[in-house]
């Protein structure tokens, strides 16, 4: 009598002699069983899968789909996010045959996921429900859903619904969130709090203050970041009181301890590796203090504050101000801090045209290195005329002496310059080829 595979495994584990089976016989039975299993399975009576819902977005053109297929196979793969961005904004969806490859890319690259819910349509959702590896798609928004989605939709569709409601009726969106708050998952609460970023006002302050008591650290942190943007919030006032004790003109003294009230306000007690604990607390206090507090407290204008010598904790304080400028979207502070240290994140606070012009000044003054490449990576696409000219001039200057650095700048310029200039850069063949690829890509998706 042949044994099942499970019985053979059990016998091998406990020992053939304990089951009165000769070892040679056990191996023979295992070989037969493996052969039988590999030969195929007896079909079972199954149930047909439900069909995917009807698609609502038109299919991308055949030329656009063919180009996407080539990109997924490696041709100009760095431009894939731009293809997805243009296609999502253009209201099309990708060919069904390419959806599995796209979803596999989304497993490896989280940055493209936000567009995949729209571009893969109903078939993408259908596949995501069948394959756990692709289930991340269910957390991404598709089309703006109907009202019943708030109660029955996926997490991504519910977030899209709340964001759309926030844009038209911000108070109603917050009330809806408050009503079902206790029933939301911890991950959902963190994502929904972030939706309140758009249209943030003091009317949201009581809800966000209460969210500081949430068990989930991400919820508390997001709430604290939003309250930092409200200079009249209770959290902003508490942070200003702490900051007044920590920093006076020319001298800083970090907090002596991180107590429970500080942790509630979003100060994380454990520092990153290699950073002093007290300096980490000081940086976070400064980061969550309203920037409008400092000129009066220190008796100096913003540009002098950012250049002020502070002593041993100067680096931590300046990092706190940088974080505050980003959180509070304060262009005046971002400009002043960028003059001291040209960080990419500060550029993002400025209008696109100003981003490009300030980056152009740095490109003209400084040699091409990793810091410049990182800074340019944060400048919005397309680069303005001044930055484009400065980058092209720097490419020509650098190509002979530092071809490795020129190569990085060429790749970045190919992704960020206006693709319409492809016909005017024949002196740099790689750059011209990338720009022509983007130019044709945009035309196919328009």
Instruction: Print pLDDT tens along the chain (446 aa).
Output: 567 767 777 777 766 566 666 666 777 887 887 777 777 666 677 788 888 888 889 999 999 999 999 999 999 999 999 999 999 999 999 999 999 999 999 999 999 998 998 899 999 999 999 999 999 998 887 765 666 778 877 888 888 888 888 999 999 999 999 998 988 888 889 889 999 999 999 999 999 999 999 988 899 999 999 999 999 999 999 999 999 999 998 889 999 999 999 999 999 999 998 899 999 999 999 999 999 999 999 999 999 999 999 888 999 999 999 999 999 999 999 999 999 988 889 998 999 889 999 999 989 988 888 888 888 988 888 999 999 999 999 998 887 777 777 888 999 999 999 999 998 888 889 999 999 999 999 999 98
Residue 20 is predicted with a pLDDT of 63
- Spatial distance between the Cα atoms of 217 and 189, rounded to a whole number of angstroms: 11
- Spatial distance between the Cα atoms of 293 and 201, rounded to a whole number of angstroms: 19
- Which residue, 308, 341, 374, sits at the end of a domain? 341
Three-class DSSP category at 287: helix
Q: Is 391 found in the same domain as 358?
A: yes
Q: What is the pTM of this model?
A: 0.76
pLDDT digits (tens, 9 = 90+) for 387-404: 999 999 999 888 777 777
Residue 201 lies in a domain: yes
Residue 85 is predicted with a pLDDT of 95
Q: Is 360 found in the same domain as 260?
A: no
Taking alpha carbons only, the member of 361, 403, 397 closest to residue 379 is 361
Residue 53 lies in a domain: no
Q: Is 414 found in the same domain as 311?
A: no
Q: What is the CA radius of gyration of the chain?
A: 29
Host H or E run for residue 251: strand 251-252
Q: Is 100 found in the same domain as 202?
A: yes
Instruction: Give the phi and the psi of residue 90 in degrees, each rounded to 5.
Output: -85, -5
- Spatial distance between the Cα atoms of 197 and 226, rounded to a whole number of angstroms: 7
- Spatial distance between the Cα atoms of 16 and 26, rounded to a whole number of angstroms: 7
Q: Is 258 found in the same domain as 222?
A: no
Residue 261 lies in a domain: yes
Q: Is 250 found in the same domain as 215?
A: no
- Spatial distance between the Cα atoms of 248 and 243, rounded to a whole number of angstroms: 9
Instruction: Give the phi and the psi of residue 300 in degrees, each rounded to 5.
Output: -140, 155
Contact 148, 121 (CB under 8 A): no
Residue 241 lies in a domain: yes
- Which residue, 341, 368, 383, sits at the end of a domain? 341
The domain in which residue 213 lies consists of 62-69+76-228
Q: Is 400 found in the same domain as 259?
A: no
Residue 370 is predicted with a pLDDT of 84
Q: Is 142 found in the same domain as 202?
A: yes
Q: Is 201 found in the same domain as 89?
A: yes
- Spatial distance between the Cα atoms of 409 and 391, rounded to a whole number of angstroms: 8
Q: Is 211 found in the same domain as 125?
A: yes
CB atoms within 10 A of CB 31: 10
Task: Supply the CATH number for residue 175's domain.
Answer: 1.25.10
For 280-325, give the DSSP string: HHHHHHHHTS-TTHHHHHHTS-HHHHHH----TTHHHHHHHHHHHH
- Spatial distance between the Cα atoms of 362 and 409, rounded to a whole number of angstroms: 14
Host H or E run for residue 170: helix 170-179
Number of separate domains in the chain: 4
Q: Is 121 found in the same domain as 13?
A: no
Q: Is 156 found in the same domain as 99?
A: yes
Residue 414 is predicted with a pLDDT of 95
CB atoms within 10 A of CB 178: 12
pLDDT digits (tens, 9 = 90+) for 130-168: 999 999 998 887 765 666 778 877 888 888 888 888 999
Residue 441 lies in a domain: yes
Residue 23 is predicted with a pLDDT of 61
Residue 257 is predicted with a pLDDT of 93
- Spatial distance between the Cα atoms of 421 and 406, rounded to a whole number of angstroms: 19
Residue 222 lies in a domain: yes
Could you tell me the two tokens for 140? 């991404």
């Amino acid at each position: 009598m042949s044994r099942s595979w499970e019985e053979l495994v059990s016998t091998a584990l406990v020992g053939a002699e304990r089951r009165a089976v000769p070892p040679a016989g056990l191996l023979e039975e295992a070989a037969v069983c493996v052969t039988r299993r590999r030969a195929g399975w007896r079909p079972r009576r199954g149930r047909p899968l439900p069909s995917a819902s009807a698609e609502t977005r038109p299919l991308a053109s055949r030329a656009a789909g063919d180009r996407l297929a080539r990109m997924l196979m490696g041709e100009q793969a760095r431009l894939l996010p731009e293809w997805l961005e243009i296609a999502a904004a253009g209201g099309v969806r990708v060919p069904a045959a390419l959806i599995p490859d796209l979803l596999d890319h989304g497993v490896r690259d989280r940055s493209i996921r936000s567009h995949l819910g729209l571009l893969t349509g109903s078939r993408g959702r259908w596949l995501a429900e069948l394959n756990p590896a692709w289930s991340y798609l269910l957390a991404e928004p598709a089309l703006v859903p109907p009202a019943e989605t708030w109660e029955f939709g996926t997490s991504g569709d519910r977030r899209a619904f709340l964001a759309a409601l926030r844009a038209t009726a911000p108070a109603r969106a917050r009330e809806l969130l408050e009503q079902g708050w206790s029933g939301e998952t911890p991950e959902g609460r963190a994502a929904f709090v972030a939706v309140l970023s758009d249209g943030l006002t003091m009317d949201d302050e009581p809800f966000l203050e209460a969210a500081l008591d949430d068990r989930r650290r991400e919820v508390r942190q997001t709430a604290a970041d939003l309250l930092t943007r409200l200079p009249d919030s209770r959290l902003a006032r508490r942070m200003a009181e702490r900051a007044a004790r920590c920093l006076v003109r020319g001298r800083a003294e970090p907090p002596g301890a991180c107590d429970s009230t500080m942790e509630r306000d979003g100060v994380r007690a454990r520092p990153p590796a290699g950073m002093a604990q007290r300096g980490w607390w000081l940086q976070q206090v400064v980061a969550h203090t309203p920037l409008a507090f400092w000129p009066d407290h220190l008796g100096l204008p913003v540009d002098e504050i950012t250049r002020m010598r502070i002593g041993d904790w100067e680096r931590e304080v300046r990092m706190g101000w940088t974080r505050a400028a980003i959180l509070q979207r304060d262009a005046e502070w971002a400009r002043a801090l960028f003059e001291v240290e040209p960080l990419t994140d500060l550029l993002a606070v400025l209008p696109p045209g100003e981003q490009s012009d300030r980056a152009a000044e740095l490109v003209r003054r400084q040699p091409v290195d990793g810091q410049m490449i990182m800074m340019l990576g944060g400048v919005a696409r397309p680069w303005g005329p001044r930055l484009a000219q400065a980058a092209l001039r720097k490419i020509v200057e650098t190509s002979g002496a530092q071809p490795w650095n020129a190569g990085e700048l060429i790749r970045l310029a190919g992704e960020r310059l206006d693709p319409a200039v492809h016909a005017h850069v024949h002196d740099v063949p790689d750059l011209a080829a990338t720009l022509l690829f983007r130019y044709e890509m945009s035309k196919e998706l328009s």
